[in-house]
């Protein structure tokens, strides 16, 4: 028995020495991780410490970082200790193919493999790069690209097209969709596309670089299309409302002039498309890459080598989740049925309420031009 206890003690001492050696060999370094995840069943990306009933992507990530030995346990409890920052705060149910987080970790051997071993299969770390000590993934990001995958019957005209899954998008309708989406390009006042921002709140002005809808494709006998949007930053619900308004116009519920009207001071009732289908595609660090990407010490934050892994992950986890959830829960069908109740005429009462809001806006949604509220 005594020998047994002694052996256990010796093993424990040896393990502690190994861990110490590992720590000496693996000093903490600032890195970024490229993440992909299917957001279904999660209450968004950002961890809510103290409310464990709402599971987030970061809960699973932090747990995997601790278990793999990249960070000590107390860093998991207080994320500031590892200088943790996510690039975008994706909302409940929203997926990502190219999320970036920055943090300090011990650069242990086979680090990606070890982290992934402690993650569920629908969350993967696809890449890692060393960055400068002061790097912050949120503040250094100059733009974000999102995609929104939707069944094309969302664009069927309410009066004369088939409304169900047998609908197929014709060339003229796709051209109309793209003409409307292109209207969003440039800098506009998007106060009508979020909540808690009045028309005179400077943070409601956002810059959109591109927005378009790609060619449709058929999956599980339903035709889908993907809308891509690249912008400097987005406010809460902004993308879903931008898409919701275009759908309302194409279906014949609202006039085209409403887009222009929505940027004015008046309150406009802008419908919010379902969250299902929204994916954070990639984040851009163009200024950082110009300054540090070729300095001989750091790599540019580009992920060309990981593109194939990203595509495989989307095909395995993101697209099937969107398609199957749409088939089972009919989120787009149910939402389209609510469009007729919207009042697409401006409301003076709403405008007065919004003006009042802008004077005492507490700016809950982070509007420093870099804080991406995503959705």
Binding-site annotation: residue ranges: 146
Q: Are strands 278-284 and 95-106 parallel, antiparallel or unpaired?
A: parallel
**Known binding positions for substrate:** 146
CA distances in angstroms from 31 to 11, 103, 129, 139, listed in the order given: 33, 6, 6, 15
**E strands present in 257-318:** 278-284
Q: Which of 59, 91, 372, 375 is catalytic?
A: 91
β-pairing, 28-37 vs 95-106, is antiparallel
Query: Residue 306 has what DSSP assignment?
Result: G
Give the H or E element holding residue 331.
helix 331-336
Match 């709402």 to its residue by tokens.
54
Rounded CA separation 286/41 (Å): 33
Rounded distance, CA 122 to CA 276, Å? 16
How far apart CA 350 and CA 275 sit, in angstroms, is 25
Is 91 in the active site?
yes
Phi, psi for 149 (deg, rounded to 5)? -95, 125
Calculate helix-pair angle for 171-182, 238-251, nearest 10 degrees: 140
How many angstroms separate the Cα of 140 from the Cα of each of 190, 210, 276, 321? 23, 20, 28, 31
CB 255 within 8 A of CB 344: yes
Residue 48: alpha-carbon gap to chain centroid: 17
Question: Can you tell me the distance from the alpha carbon of 323 to that of 92, in angstroms, rounded to the nearest whole number?
Answer: 17
Q: How far apart are CA 174 and CA 363, in angstroms?
A: 36
Which residues are marked as active site?
Answer: 91
């Amino acid at each position: 028995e005594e020998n047994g206890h002694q052996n256990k003690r010796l093993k424990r001492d040896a393990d502690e020495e190994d861990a110490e050696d590992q720590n000496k060999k693996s000093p903490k370094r600032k890195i970024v991780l490229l993440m992909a995840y299917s957001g279904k069943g999660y209450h968004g990306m950002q961890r809510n410490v103290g409310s464990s009933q709402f599971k987030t992507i970061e809960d699973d990530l932090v747990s995997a970082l601790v278990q793999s030995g990249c960070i000590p346990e107390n860093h998991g409890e207080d994320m500031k200790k590892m200088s943790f920052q996510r690039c975008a705060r994706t909302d409940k149910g929203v997926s990502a193919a190219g999320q970036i987080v920055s943090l300090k970790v011990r650069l242990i051997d086979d680090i990606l493999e070890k982290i992934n071993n402690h993650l569920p299969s629908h969350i993967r770390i696809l890449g890692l790069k060393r960055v400068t000590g002061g790097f912050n993934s949120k503040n250094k990001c100059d733009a974000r690209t999102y995609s929104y995958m939707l069944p094309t019957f969302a664009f069927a005209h309410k009066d004369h097209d088939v409304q169900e899954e047998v609908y197929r998008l014709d060339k003229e309708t796709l051209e109309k969709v793209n003409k409307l989406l292109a209207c969003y390009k440039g800098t506009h006042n998007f106060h009508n596309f979020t909540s808690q921002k009045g028309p005179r709140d400077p943070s409601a002005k956002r810059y959109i670089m591109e927005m378009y809808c790609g060619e449709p494709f058929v999956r599980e006998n339903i035709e889908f299309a993907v809308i891509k949007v690249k912008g400097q930053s987005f406010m809460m619900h902004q993308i879903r409302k931008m898409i919701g308004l275009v759908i309302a116009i194409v279906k014949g519920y609202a006039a085209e002039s409403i887009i222009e009207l929505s940027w004015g001071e008046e309150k406009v009732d802008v419908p919010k498309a379902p969250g299902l289908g929204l994916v954070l595609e990639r984040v851009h660090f163009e200024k950082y890459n110009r300054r540090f990407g070729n300095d001989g010490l750091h790599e540019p934050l580009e992920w060309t080598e990981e593109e194939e892994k990203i595509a495989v992950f989307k095909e395995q986890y993101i697209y099937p989740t969107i398609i199957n959830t749409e088939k089972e829960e009919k989120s787009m069908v149910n939402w389209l049925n609510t469009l007729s109740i919207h009042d697409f005429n401006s409301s003076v009462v709403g405008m007065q309420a919004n003006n009042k809001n802008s004077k005492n806006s507490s700016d809950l949604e982070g509007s420093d031009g870099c804080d991406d509220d995503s959705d």
